[in-house]
Structure 1
């Protein structure tokens, strides 16, 4: 049991480092900072890329049209080749609910080298430029906003001097699989991109949550967004990196009143959500994949295995090391469960959820090499190295 004892010790050491040295990623208190209203409210264009979103649009678009914003604002919905009547439904919702002006446009099929969403965003930004807004709110068609969402975003951006302010929308947690998988998804994201590090001036960590991004138009032009990231599958992280490389100051935190209305009721739905981009996150690199699998196993799977094996073999040291690592893991997960209003007994199940994510990541790589990687709503995207550069 000596080998397993040393592995368990390594797992505990990793958890102690994650607890204290990874930007306190497990805390959930990074929220939109309160700010006083600016003296003058800048003009904002809300850009909504939408592809086959009729199922969720009635639950999200009215919340954008109903924004209580004192300045000039309008909504630009870019219908990205929908076949389910998304554009017509958007116009009908605008007629029925009123509120902010709505423009529905279509960019046509994306050319080689562009992902569909970013091609739609490009078209929306081009439309917005004619309105000369100071800010762009990039938000997905499945995101519902509280009436004061836009006001709070702009006030925070002005007060903090941020070029990009992003909130990670609270994802839907209703089915059993959503309760098991969704909070862990946000927990793992925060572990990779600690929110406290993202907001540091001069720091290297950069990320955003694509469902809700307020972006200063000048910063977008300076960073050549979205042209500079046109092939990105994980577009929100790529966007944040581009803005930060351009000298922008960015902020990311958890949302209180911005919610995703998209359901993922079955494991298969969640599996496809993760698997479509997991290998892209690893830059389609087999060595990074192997390292990720080994790291997930060491950090999340070794603690319960060491505890069980140590108890069965009468090795108290190995069992204690495994139990201690599992205890630290469980403690760091509890704040995220509280944020999602879920029972604390789900926290010890994190190793099982991590094993699912490990399998999803491997499946993402398999799909990629089978030519089915990064597939979304009828489109499959090549790895960036194989995309022709359009200059």
Structure 2
């Protein structure tokens, strides 16, 4: 066989392993586990860090205030230095819609060594602890919850004995670029962190979706959250690892009625979302970056290249093996497209989308080495190794 055919064989072997040996990451049936209503509903405090979120708050915040929760619950929105009137709008929405009690506060600028979001979360948890809640719901300002969302999360956590229950909110998919890029984002995340592995007791895989995290308050205190992860750019995964480290049982799955309302209609918006943290995911390692690029090329780009080159160059073996690998790839992507209610003809386009993610990852590394990495809403964060451990 030709070198191209052997390379295609390697890609097909990788896909067969991903299909069967990576926690069935491609399946989308991991939803909230079995839940039974407790005899007494525990108290919950909802913490919402918000920086310049006025554009989405009118949709998301009323859904939190309208939670149909049988126990005691209240919302703490922490205005992280917004300049667009986020805090004033939150107070206006609470006065207009009523519902759960709302407290709006500002913590001031984060000190050195803290990301803005985690500094806001710390402030919100500090306010919440005065109420002595049993659970904390950490949710982003762009997340809209169904009226029974909090009730279902608490019931699931109590029934399963989970220290943390997290749902991957259904992201907005309306523009052509969102249809092409967003389902793949969740697909790649599940490939890195298979949901079934996260839910295993005593397992090693730990991850969460930062938009919707229900956390036992005592687990947060024992894990020193968020202080222990104060510099984390990918804070949801860092949070899950901190809770796992104290023996906490985790659960992560796809949401049915928890949705992100943040629009990202342009490729530029999506590019910025991915590139700001992609290199941090690789621990700012050039070796891991090189390995990731090579892996993406082998797994996602070789199959269509082998088909095209094999057909053009009279190499039927390369074309057939590459086609088989491409077919498996598209088949594993189809369930995620169904979950996002997208047409299945997008599945064969996954190699193109993967090439975009490859370029986003390289761009993330370039930005980091130019001192512009991990930039978000006017702030740029240093790599963890550059942050002092004092305090």
Please give the TM-score of this superposition, normalised by the length of structure 1. 0.99
CA distance in structure 2 between the aligned counterparts of 1:4 and 1:390, rounded to whole angstroms: 53
Runs (4+) off by over 6 Å: none
Q: Which runs of 5+ in 1 are unaligned?
A: none
The residue that corresponds to 2:272 in the other structure is 272
The residue that corresponds to 1:92 in the other structure is 92
Residues 323-365 of structure 1: per-residue CA shift (max 9 Å, x gap): 0000000000000000000000000000000000000000000
Matching of residues 1-391 of structure 1 within 5 Å: 2-391=2-391
CA distance in structure 2 between the aligned counterparts of 1:8 and 1:213, rounded to whole angstroms: 41
Q: Which runs of 5+ in 2 are unaligned?
A: none
Residues 47-75 of structure 1: per-residue CA shift (max 9 Å, x gap): 00000000000010000000000000000
CA root-mean-square deviation:
0.6
CA distance in structure 1 between the aligned counterparts of 2:328 and 2:32, rounded to whole angstroms: 28
Give the secondary-structure state (helix, strand or coil) at the position aligned to 1:167: strand
Give the secondary-structure state (helix, strand or coil) at the position aligned to 1:203: coil
CA distance in structure 2 between the aligned counterparts of 1:54 and 1:320, rounded to whole angstroms: 52
Q: CA deviation at 1:34?
A: 3.6
Cα pair 2:34 2:160 within 8 Å, conserved: no
CA distance in structure 2 between the aligned counterparts of 1:277 and 1:330, rounded to whole angstroms: 26
CA distance in structure 1 between the aligned counterparts of 2:245 and 2:96, rounded to whole angstroms: 43
Residues 157-202 of structure 1: per-residue CA shift (max 9 Å, x gap): 0000000000000000000000000000000000000000000011
Q: CA deviation at 1:2?
A: 1.4
CA distance in structure 2 between the aligned counterparts of 1:35 and 1:385, rounded to whole angstroms: 41
CA distance in structure 2 between the aligned counterparts of 1:132 and 1:35, rounded to whole angstroms: 24
Give the secondary-structure state (helix, strand or coil) at the position aligned to 2:99: coil
